[in-house]
């Protein structure tokens, strides 16, 4: 059989721990036998990030701007324990944070719905897609530990020499902590546009929520920009499509989401999206059944799994024990990227291949062969709990 041809390479960002193991298995067994895979490879594994002083992350983001489509493996975001484990020079920032800051854009996360894996929330009948703003707020913050009494202020110094603006954050009379965060009107507007466009393209209602009653300037700005963009650019198109835009407070949104039937887009600020997408993916079945794509306003796409590096399974793997790690979201990251590459380069065979791989993956689960996370919750009778290797081999056999 001759392999399916590619023209433009994908940006391939390798990662850490168990997902790095999955990455290689997926390439070797599910993609490379069928596709003449072309990638520009960047090793975002923590060792290489540390060796290059995180330059490799920036290079990978720049390559994405050049080539347009990237696929990324989960990566470790270092904390104090990782500093020791990897003997790091610095506590490098989250690679996802760095990449999102460079590409801007919105992250869309949708559950992969499979027969036999039923949502925990009984009212949910359709997927709920989270549109996560991927720029700024606490992910691009500036923090201080306050050692003792003193004043913390916000100071704005206009570049044109205009008058300085100051606001007191807190007069500290004891040790504490302080944080400065920001966002940009242009980024919020492109977040709103990406969300409205996605709602139109999937013909679903869209909700947006913030805490404008408490954050009267910051969160209120998000609410206002969404309303302005909607009124000026989308109102008529939404009416025509018969879909709705709905704004409410974040806590009210959470309550309504639980009572809903699903089948809508939930646009979330950066932090809300981070937290709520983990809750939603788990409630829809498993963290490992959530697709994720960063869509930048400049037309770049970065595909990844929503879950992390599955550290606990990796240590078992290193100890020579069998694992049952779910590769579905990582497979769908690859198929998402290959589909987009195929569409952009007009390669229908590549798009067709990606769809077949998705179907083979879903069919494998629906036939009763699945990893432990799904076997534990499925409503299918007598599921076979496959090891990581067995599950991938079962998909390969279908391919
Ligand atoms: P995690 O890797 O998402 O795993 C948390 C738990 O969820 C696992 O221990 C496992 O539960 C379950 N799980 C997640 N993915 C699974 C899969 N594919 N198959 C089966 N079970 C799965 O989160 P974490 O352990 O908190 O974080 C580990 C590392 O990942 C951290 O260093 C963090 O910085 C990084 N991280 C990276 C990204 C990213 O690159 N996008 C996102 C989040 C976290 P059981 O152990 O109960 O089986
Ligand atoms: Mg999260």
Which residue owns the Cα nearest ligand 1 atom 39? 74
Residues 230-242 have pLDDT tens digits of: 999 999 999 999 9
**What pLDDT band is residue 201 in, cutting at 50, 70 and 90?**
confident
Residue 4 DSSP code: B
C-beta of 96 in contact with ligand 1 (< 6 A):
yes
Range from 41-50, 120-129, 365-374 carrying the lowest mean pLDDT: 120-129
Ligand 2 centre to CA of 201 (Å) is 25
Structure confidence at residue 285 (pLDDT): 80
Give the Cα separation of 130 and 281 in Å (integer): 10
Identify the helix (H) or strand (E) that includes residue 64.
helix 55-67
Structure confidence at residue 183 (pLDDT): 97
**What pLDDT band is residue 296 in, cutting at 50, 70 and 90?**
confident
Structure confidence at residue 23 (pLDDT): 98
Domains of the chain: 1-107+291-399 (3.40.718.10), 118-140+183-284 (3.40.718.10), 142-180 (no CATH)
Structure confidence at residue 65 (pLDDT): 97
C-beta of 281 in contact with ligand 1 (< 6 A):
no
Q: Please provide the average confidence, as pLDDT, over all residues in the chain.
A: 95
The residue ranking higher by pLDDT, 150 or 295, is 150
Residue 199 DSSP code: H
Phi, psi torsion values for 232, nearest 5 degrees:
-75, -35
Ligand 2 centre to CA of 271 (Å) is 8
Ligand 1 centre to CA of 315 (Å) is 12
Give the Cα separation of 291 and 284 in Å (integer): 12
Range 348-354 average pLDDT: 98
Ligand 2 centre to CA of 100 (Å) is 14
Of all atoms in ligand 1, which is nearest to the CA of residue 329? 18
Give the Cα separation of 109 and 298 in Å (integer): 19
Ligand 2 centre to CA of 75 (Å) is 13
Residue 217 DSSP code: T
Least Cα distance to 111 among 255, 250, 273, 283 occurs for 283
Ligand nearest to C-alpha 308? 1
Residues 279-293 have pLDDT tens digits of: 888 888 888 898 888
Of all atoms in ligand 1, which is nearest to the CA of residue 326? 19
Distance from the Cα of residue 279 to its chain's centroid: 13
Ligand 2 centre to CA of 134 (Å) is 12
Give the Cα separation of 205 and 59 in Å (integer): 37
Give pairs for 165-169: CB < 8 Å, separation 24+.
Answer: none
Give the Cα separation of 64 and 71 in Å (integer): 9
Which residue owns the Cα nearest ligand 1 atom 36? 308
Residues 126-176 have pLDDT tens digits of: 999 999 998 899 988 999 999 999 999 999 999 999 999 999 999 999 999
Ligand 2 centre to CA of 179 (Å) is 20
Ligand 1 centre to CA of 306 (Å) is 9
Pocket perturbation via mutation, ligand 1, pick of 72, 88, 277, 308 by most ligand atoms within 8 A of CB: 308
- The yes-or-no verdict on residue 278 having pLDDT over 90 is no
Which residue owns the Cα nearest ligand 1 atom 33? 76
**What pLDDT band is residue 178 in, cutting at 50, 70 and 90?**
very high
C-beta of 324 in contact with ligand 1 (< 6 A):
no
Of all atoms in ligand 1, which is nearest to the CA of residue 22? 18
Contact 365, 116 (CB under 8 A): yes
Residues 95-112 have pLDDT tens digits of: 998 998 898 778 899 899
Least Cα distance to 33 among 366, 357, 367, 370 occurs for 357
C-beta of 326 in contact with ligand 1 (< 6 A):
yes
- The residues, ordered by sequence, that sit 6+ positions from 129 with a Cβ below 8 Å of its Cβ are 108, 109, 110, 198, 202, 204, 264, 265, 266
Range 309-319 average pLDDT: 97
C-beta of 76 in contact with ligand 1 (< 6 A):
yes
Identify the helix (H) or strand (E) that includes residue 353.
helix 348-366
Instruction: Express as a percent the part of the chain with pLDDT over 90.
Output: 85
CA gyration radius for the chain?
Answer: 22
C-beta of 310 in contact with ligand 1 (< 6 A):
yes
Range 78-86 average pLDDT: 95
C-beta of 307 in contact with ligand 1 (< 6 A):
yes
Q: What SS3 state is found at 63? A: helix
- The residues, ordered by sequence, that sit 6+ positions from 194 with a Cβ below 8 Å of its Cβ are 105, 106, 131, 295, 297
- The yes-or-no verdict on residue 182 having pLDDT over 90 is yes
Range 59-82 average pLDDT: 97
């Amino acid at each position: 059989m001759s392999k399916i041809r590619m023209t433009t390479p994908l940006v391939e960002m390798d990662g850490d721990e168990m997902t790095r193991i999955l990455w290689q298995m997926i390439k070797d067994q599910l993609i490379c036998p069928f596709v003449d895979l072309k990638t520009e490879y960047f090793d975002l594994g923590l060792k290489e990030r540390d060796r290059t002083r995180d330059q490799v992350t920036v290079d990978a983001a720049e390559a994405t701007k050049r080539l347009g489509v990237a696929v990324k493996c989960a990566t470790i975001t270092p904390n104090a324990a990782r500093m020791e484990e990897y003997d790091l020079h610095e506590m490098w920032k989250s690679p996802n944070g760095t990449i999102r800051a460079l590409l801007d854009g919105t992250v869309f996360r949708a559950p992969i719905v499979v027969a036999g894996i039923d949502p925990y929330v009984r009212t949910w009948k359709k997927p709920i897609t989270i549109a996560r703003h991927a720029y700024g707020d606490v992910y691009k913050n500036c923090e201080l530990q306050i050692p003792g009494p003193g004043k913390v202020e916000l100071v704005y110094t206009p570049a044109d020499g205009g008058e300085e603006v100051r606001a007191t954050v807190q007069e500290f009379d004891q040790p504490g902590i302080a944080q400065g965060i920001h966002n940009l009107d242009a980024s919020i507007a492109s977040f709103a546009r990406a969300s409205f466009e996605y709602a139109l393209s999937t013909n679903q209602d869209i909700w947006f929520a913030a805490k404008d009653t408490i954050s009267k300037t910051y969160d209120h700005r998000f609410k206002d920009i969404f309303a302005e963009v909607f009124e000026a650019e989308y109102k008529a198109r939404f009416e025509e499509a018969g879909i709705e835009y709905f704004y409410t407070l974040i806590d009210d949104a959470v309550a309504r989401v639980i009572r809903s039937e699903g089948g809508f887009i939930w646009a979330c600020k950066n932090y809300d999206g981070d937290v709520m997408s983990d809750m939603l993916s788990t409630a829809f079945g498993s963290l490992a059944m959530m697709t994720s794509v960063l869509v930048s306003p400049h037309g770049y796409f970065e595909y990844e799994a929503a879950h992390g590096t599955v550290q606990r399974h990796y240590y078992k793997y290193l100890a020579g024990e069998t694992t049952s790690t779910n590769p579905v979201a990582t497979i769908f990251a690859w198929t998402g990227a290959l589909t987009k590459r195929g569409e952009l380069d007009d390669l229908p065979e590549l798009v067709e291949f990606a769809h077949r791989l998705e179907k083979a993956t879903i069919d494998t689960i629906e036939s009763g062969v699945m990893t432990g996370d799904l076997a534990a919750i499925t409503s299918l009778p007598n599921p076979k709990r496959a090891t990581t290797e067995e599950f991938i081999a079962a998909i390969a056999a279908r391919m």
